[in-house]
Amino acid sequence: MKKLVTLILFLAAHTMYAQFTTINPDTVCYQTPGSIYQVPNNPAYIYNWIITAPGVITGGQGTNQINVDWSAAAPGLIPNAVEVTGQNANGCESIPTLLDVFIYDVTPTITAIGPFCETDPCVPLVANPTGGVFTGVGVVGSDFCPNVAGSGSHIITYTYTNGGCTFVATINIGVSTQPVLSPIQHN
């Protein structure tokens, strides 16, 4: 039983790792302009690369290494997105080598809060997915503190990083000035 549990844990760990490697598919951050693909170089070969649209080869066609711009690609899996063949001096062509590309996107969201008065206490900021970092005027850790921010309109940014990709969300939080009254008059 102990061997079976060890085997299951080993396979689960390696299966989870395989989903985030750049072997097949390659994981590209959404709206990232450049990725490099290569095969071992044979100086006697001319390499022909084919990229599935909307990917665009920006350099290297004919060599063993190319640069590709995926910034126009929608999030999701692009099967057989990268293809390369090699041709020798006699015109013989290799069998194509293929690679899938996964365009990785996370759209973080921040739960709306406010409006506040400038004397209000700190309140927790909530975002999804969890694990990111809040920044902005009035942010203390993962709280928004109207009494620190002061009156006005405040942009709060949430930055979430995963799989080497960084995604950002922002919200605008309003803080109103505390009203000031004149002393009570009496006659």
Q: 116: closest CA among 143, 142, 156, 147?
A: 147
What is the token pair recorded at 101? 């590309």
pLDDT band (50, 70, 90) for residue 9: very low
What is the domain extent for residue 46?
22-104
Q: What is the mean pLDDT of the chain?
A: 87
Single out the residue in 104, 119, 144 at which a domain terminates.
104
Asked whether the whole model's pTM tops 0.85, one would answer no
Helix (H) or strand (E) holding 148: helix 146-149
**54 in a structural domain:** yes
Give me the mean pLDDT over the 4-10 stretch.
35
Query: Is the domain of 69 the same as that of 48?
Result: yes
Q: Are 85 and 96 in contact (CB under 8 A)?
A: yes
Query: Is the domain of 29 the same as that of 99?
Result: yes
**5 in a structural domain:** no
Number of domains forming the structure of the chain: 2
DSSP code at position 62:
B
**53 in a structural domain:** yes
**11 in a structural domain:** no
pLDDT band (50, 70, 90) for residue 98: very high
Q: Are 146 and 175 in contact (CB under 8 A)?
A: yes
Query: Is the domain of 35 the same as that of 97?
Result: yes
Please state whether the peptide bond connecting residue 124 to the residue before it is cis, i.e. omega within 30 degrees of 0.
Answer: no
> Which residue's entry shows tokens 């640069």?
67
Residue pLDDT, tens place only, 99-144: 999 999 999 999 999 999 999 999 999 999 999 999 999 999 999 9
What was the pLDDT predicted at 121?
95
